[in-house]
Amino acid sequence: MDLVRGSGLVPVKKKPKILHGSSSFYRYDVKFKEVVLFLVERKMGASRRNFLMELARRRGFQIESELRDCVTHIVAENNSRAEVVEWLKSKKLNDVIKYQIVDISWFTECMGAGCPIKIESRHQLMVQEDCPASFNTPVSSSCVRVSPYACQRRTPLRDINRIFTDAFDIMAENYEFWESKGPRVAYQRASAVLKSLPFPIVTMKDVEDLPHLREEMKYIIEEIIEDRKSSKVEEVRSSERYKSFKIFTSIFGVGLKTTEKWYRMGYRTLEDITSSNCLKFTSMQKHGLLYYEDIASYVTKKEADAVERLIKTIIWGFVSDAIVTVTGGFRRGKNIGHDVDILITCPQKRDEIQILHKTINSLKKMNLVLFHDIVESTFDDTKRPSRYVDSLDHFQKSFLILQLQKEEENTYIHKPNKSEAQRSWKAIRVDLVVTPYEQYAFAILGWTGSQQFERDLRRFASHEKKMMLDNHALYDKSKHLQCCELQMIVYEFLGIG
C-alpha cells in the first residue's frame, strides 16, 4: 500500500510535507518535546496502533514506533501493569521506573485536549491478580473485556475459534438466504465476537459473559464442544435449499431474488443453470458463468498487488497526484480475498470526473477487460443526510472482470493473452470506486470493512453518539444534521474519546 498517498483516514486541508527518503510518514511539527510516547501493540492491534500513532503526530506529539531510550510514556490498552512490566523486562529494560506506564484513556484525553494532561489514578493500568502476567501465557475469558461493538474490539487475522465461527457463519448465511434480517445480523454479531477472542473456547464457562450470545447460539457452542459439530448447523449445511442458494449466489451478477426464482423453477445445481434453454441471462451473469471457476476461487495477495500496480500505473499516467488504495480484506492484512476493491480520489475535481472512464479505456486498449459495467455517481448533497443511513453509497464505480496474465515463474504481469486456449491467465473480479477528495476519509473507512465492523461503527455512532455515519460523511443529529468537523471522525465514530 502507498502509505504516503493513502494512509490518512482523516483528510487535511493542506497537503503536508513529506519526509525526504521516506514514504511512510508525513512531517508534523513536534509541539511537546518533553513527552515521547510509545504504544504497546498487544491487544491493540497493528492497524489501530498505526492509526493512533498518526493521530498523535497530527496533534503535535512525538511518538516512537520502537521502544527507545527517549520514550517517557508507555501507553497500553486492555493490558495489566504486570503484563507490561513483564514485557519490558523481556526486552532487557529492567529500569521500568523511568517510564510512565498509562492506560489508553490517558492518551485519548490528551488527544481531546490537544496537549499532554496530568496523569491521574484513573489513568493507571489495572492490576489483574487473577490473570496471567506473561505476554506468552494464553489469556482466558475472565481476563478479557469484550465490547458489544466490533469497532471497539481488536480482531486478529487468525481465527482461533473457527470451528464455532464457521458454524455461526453458516447459520447467518442461511438466514440471509431466507431474507430474515434479524436472525442473520444476530448470528453475524455473535460470530464477530468469537473471532475477536484471544483465547480458544474450551468450556461453556469461556462464553458466559460474552455479548450477543443467545441461548440457541450457546447450545450450538455446547454441541460443538461435546461432539465437534452441531446437529442444527449440519442440518442446514446438508439441506438442498442452502446448497443451491450458496452456488447460485456465488455467480457474478446473481442476487437473492434471481436465486429464489431459479430455485422455484426447479434448478438445483450449476449444471442445471448452464444447460437450461429457458433462462435468459444478463450480460453480467453470462460473464459470471463464463468465468465462474476463476471468480469463485480465491484472489491471492500477489494477484491483488499486481492489479494495484496496474491500476496505479495507468492512473498516475494522466493524474500524477491521484490516490489509489486497495481496500477490503487486503487492506486489513488478509492474504486471500474474493475480489480486489480499489478506491480512487484526487485533489482536483476536474481530474476526478473523467478518471474512471479513462482508466477503463486504457484497460480496454491493453485487451485486459473481460467485462465492465460503470455506475455513475448518484450522490446528491442537497438531499443528505436522510433519516436512515444505510451501508450503500452513491459513488461512481465500475464492476470489472480483468484478465491477469502470469509468467512461468508464477509472477503476474500486465499484458494481453495470446491465446485463450492456453489459459495462461486468470479472470479477476475488480471494483474501482471513485470518491470526491473531501469524502475520501469516510469512503476508505467504509470500503475497508469488515462488514460487521462497519455495521457496528454506524450503530455506535447512532446509539452512543447520536450521530449518523455513511461512506460520504458524518452527521451530528443534535445540530440538526449538519456535517461535523473532520476531527469528529476520531472522537465520535471510532469511539476513542
The one catalytic residue in 206, 294, 341, 476 is 341
Residue boundaries of the structural domains of the chain: 31-123, 150-237, 240-290, 299-439, 451-493
Q: What is the pTM of this model?
A: 0.72
pLDDT attached to residue 387: 54
Annotated binding residue 351: no
C-alpha cell at 96: 521500568
Q: How confident is the model at residue 140 (pLDDT cuts 50, 70, 90)?
A: low
Among the listed residues 80, 77, 214, the one whose alpha carbon sits nearest the alpha carbon of residue 153: 77
Annotated binding residue 321: no
Q: What phi and psi, each to the nearest 5 degrees, are found at residue 230? A: -115, 130
Q: What phi and psi, each to the nearest 5 degrees, are found at residue 433? A: -125, 125
- Cα gap 497→493, rounded to integer Å: 9
Please state which CATH class domain 240-290 belongs to: mainly alpha
Is there a contact between 168 and 191 (Cβ–Cβ < 8 Å)? yes
pLDDT digits over 30-88, tens only? 999 899 999 988 877 777 788 788 888 888 999 998 888 888 999 988 778 888 888 87
95 catalytically annotated? no
Sheet holding 474-476, edge to edge: 467-469, 474-476, 482-483
pLDDT digits over 301-315, tens only? 999 999 999 999 999
pLDDT digits over 159-196, tens only? 999 999 999 999 999 999 999 999 999 999 999 999 99
Q: Tell which CATH classification among 3.40.50.2300, 3.30.460.10, 3.40.50.720, 1.10.3720.10 matches the domain 299-439.
A: 3.30.460.10
390 catalytically annotated? no
Check whether 489 has a pLDDT greater than 60: no
Please state which CATH class domain 150-237 belongs to: mainly alpha
pLDDT digits over 214-250, tens only? 999 999 999 999 999 999 999 999 999 999 999 999 9
The one catalytic residue in 103, 206, 294, 339 is 339
Check whether 391 has a pLDDT greater than 60: no
Fold category of 31-123 in CATH: Rossmann fold (3.40.50)
The one catalytic residue in 169, 305, 373, 431 is 431
C-beta contacts of 130-134 below 8 A and 24+ residues apart: 131/80, 131/83, 133/80, 133/82, 133/83, 133/85, 133/86, 134/83, 134/86
pLDDT digits over 348-369, tens only? 877 788 899 999 999 999 999 9
Domains 150-237 and 240-290 equal at CATH topology level? yes
159 catalytically annotated? no
Annotated binding residue 341: yes
Apex CA 118: angle with CA 112 and CA 119, to 5°?
100
Mean pLDDT of the chain: 82
